[in-house]
Chain A
Amino acid sequence: MAHARPIATTRSATGIPTPRLAVWWILASEVVIFGGLLGVYIMHRIGHPEWAEAASHTQTWIGAINTFVLLTSSFTCVLAHQAAEKGNGKEAAKLLGFTILGALMFLMIKSYEWTTEIIAGYTITANTFWSFYYTAAGLHALHVIAGAIIMGFIAVDAFRGRELHRVEIIGIYWHFVDVVWIFLFPLLYIAK
């Protein structure tokens, strides 16, 4: 390590460990990014009754399977945190591995879903509903990809018993990605 950690990082005037404090702030900024997008979508959805027709073409069952996959990955992630708290790095790494697997499954299902939709002619330009559909789900998928990559690094570290506190941090982020999907699912798939 080229850089020794500064003393500043080890201080904790608020009582919240610095990494956790930072991830909460990141989530606050993510709340307004997703909140802005979804708020705008909801307003448009109410103002455009004709979108009901477009929305009826989304594939509820695929969305449901993906919800299940993300919920489960969230569960394995929280178990990884539990293991890390007990100092069991190998167990934590294994559970993080399951979470990454969940993320990959989510992305695979998503790409299958998008492929069928694009082939059927529902591209991002087909209608403003579809533009919102791809933008919101795409932004979420980007977060899934980023989370999975970071989780990979943390899992490798955890396996060697290093930086175990990071398991909790990525967990908080991952649960947030799950929460965003919990709202995207009814918005894009269920409310027809």
Chain B
Amino acid sequence: MADTVADVHQHETHGHDDHHHDQGWVSKYLFSTDHKIIGMQYMFTGMFMAVIGGYMAYVFRMQLAFPGISVPGFGQVSPGEYNALITNHGSIMIFWVAMPVLIAAFGNFLIPLMIGADDMVFPRINRLSFQVFFLSSVVLLGSLFVEGGGFGGAWTSYPPLSASGDYNQTHLGASLWLIAVALEFVAFLLGGINFITTLMNSRAPGMKAYDIPLVCWMIVIASILFMLSVGPLLAGAVMLLFDQTLNTGFYDPARGGDPILWQHLFWFFGHPEVYVVLLPAIGITVDVMATFARKKIFGYKMVLYTAVATGVLSFFVWAHHQFIAGIDPRMANVFTITTLLISVPIAEMLFVMIATLYGGSIRLTTPMLWALSFMAEFLIGGVTGIFLGASGADIYFHDTYFVLAHFHYTFFPIAIIGTFCAFTYWFPKMFGRMMNDTLGKIHFWGTIIPFNFIFIPLFVLGMGGQHRRIYNFQHFPEIAGPEYFQLRQLATIALLVMLAFQLVFFYNVIVSWMRGEKAGKNPWKANTLEWTTESPPPHGNWPVDELPTVYRGPYEYGHPDREEDYWPQNLPG
């Protein structure tokens, strides 16, 4: 669906000179094995899903701020629909937006280009990965329209509620949701193995481990994390599916099962998953910052080792999501300590960013603004996480809007700011034209300011005791006062403003794509290999006999011996 739209666009722009090509556009854009096309397919599917996720947020925020009104474009929201909306908003934004765009789209597009290869090592597995992913999005969207409605048991899908259609009243919706998630995992396992082997084996001659741009490292480390953490959940999802369809009793205490087990399996994957999407976003911002501060990254190896340390630590923290779920209290102590520990490597990465900026000749282009705002906003998300990681405080904060605001302050910078940062930075390489900087900046401020107005009120509401996943707060007298509703309405109106400003982005993309200024090979004067080929790169990326050779690290900006302030990786001498 979404990729068809994307493909039609691509067809419109490039189509005319491709008609005499030996491939038809169906095989060229729909069933291509070219890593760049697959990356685009992932990106446009992801963006299409993001629009759906945003629409869902709009509908349920309207219901929360103005309970019972007929939401324009949706109608009245019933409790069941409300549950389905919040559940699928969460699932879509994490599994069908953050993962495909940050890892699959940019991983596919950037890794071969940045390491000087002509494609992924397994192009057809790559295509299969997208096809499975696309199927999973169709199944997910389909699950919203089956009898009984979409699944409404939250994106964590805790049993016993999720374990039986008799409990959640969405027999088909729950099973389809689960199948969609499992398919999505399979797609990313296929894609992830491709990324890992490509980076390990297909680097350009001369490119040593420390010459690889950080964003590639981060995407690959994230893929490894994903691959190692998702296994138990994949097995667990099969078990949950059996509970739903065959009436087994893995998770349902009434049938002899253990609901806590699912929580463990889910979060054993779910917490590393946070770092799976965080690391690529950090890689992107670090790369962008080095380019626009015209300065070598402060501590390349430091960032790399911290990323590995984060990855290892991320496997030790999962139970902090379950402090009040009835887990063994002794384990809660252990997980509090590890959770607070993991803020150390993350803080270290933010320090590296600040140190990179210090003394640089900073250019405030649109991608740089996004990178800077990532740092600022993610800091708020990280710091509020410290309250929640302490098991004592978490007893009070658990499942309130404080938690909700906290993880939106982490996921929004990761998934949305990170994506915009990367998209605006690599847009010239992807489409061969520059994006309009003025429109880009309008869009930037129109997103960042309302974003804070959405979630700061939710912190306040959360500390006031407002619980998550509640359909209508009028039913709870102690938090139904006008001062509470004013805050809710403030958040909702800010959301409307933010969504409206996304139109600027789409307008900018289309206009720049059609009529933007030609970008040339290297508009940002950056060092990494993708800027040494045409924009957009041809099939095979470089002519076969001109595949690049690497002589130095990716961040040699402002070298004292050189006249120019950048030193591309592929220049000899």
Contact = CB atoms under 8 A, between A and B. Distances in A.
A36 B236 CA distance: 8
Interface stretch (A63-71, A120-128, A157-165): A120-128
Contacts, number: 127
A131 B245 CA distance: 13
A163 B106 CA distance: 32
A18 B198 CA distance: 8
A39 B232 contact: yes
Nearest to A126: B248
A7 B547 contact: yes
B242 A131 contact: yes
B438 interface: no
A46 interface: no
Contacts of B189: 29
Interface stretch (B115-123, B135-143, B479-487, B494-502): B115-123
A8 B112 contact: yes
Interface in B122-175: 122-124
B120 A22 contact: no
A101 interface: no
Contact of B202 (A18, A36, A124, A127): A18
A54 B544 CA distance: 63
Interface string A23-36: 00110111111111
Q: Is chain A's interface secondary structure helix, strand, loop, or mixed overall?
A: helix
B254 interface: no
A139 interface: yes
Nearest to A136: B235
Nearest to A14: B200
B197 A6 contact: no
Nearest to B249: A128
B200 A13 contact: yes
A22 B193 CA distance: 6
B248 A124 contact: yes
A6 B227 contact: no
B257 A128 contact: yes
B232 A13 contact: no
Nearest to B208: A13
Interface string B435-448: 00000000000000
Contacts of A21: 197, 200-201
B415 interface: no
A40 interface: yes
8 closest residue pairs by CB, A with B: A36-B232, A32-B231, A6-B119, A8-B117, A37-B235, A33-B231, A8-B202, A131-B248
28 contacts: A3-B123, A6-B121, A7-B117, A7-B547, A8-B117, A8-B118, A8-B201, A9-B202, A13-B201, A21-B201, A22-B194, A25-B196, A25-B197, A25-B227, A26-B193, A29-B193, A29-B227, A32-B228, A32-B232, A33-B234, A36-B231, A36-B232, A36-B265, A40-B232, A125-B247, A128-B248, A128-B249, A135-B239
Given A7-B118, A21-B201, A28-B228, 7 more contacts: A3-B123, A21-B200, A29-B193, A31-B231, A36-B232, A37-B235, A44-B258
Interface of A: 3, 6-9, 11-14, 16, 18, 21-22, 25-26, 28-37, 39-40, 44, 124-125, 127-128, 131-132, 135, 139
Interface of B: 33, 112, 117-124, 189, 193-194, 196-198, 200-203, 207, 227-236, 238-239, 242, 246-250, 255-258, 261, 265, 268, 540, 544, 547
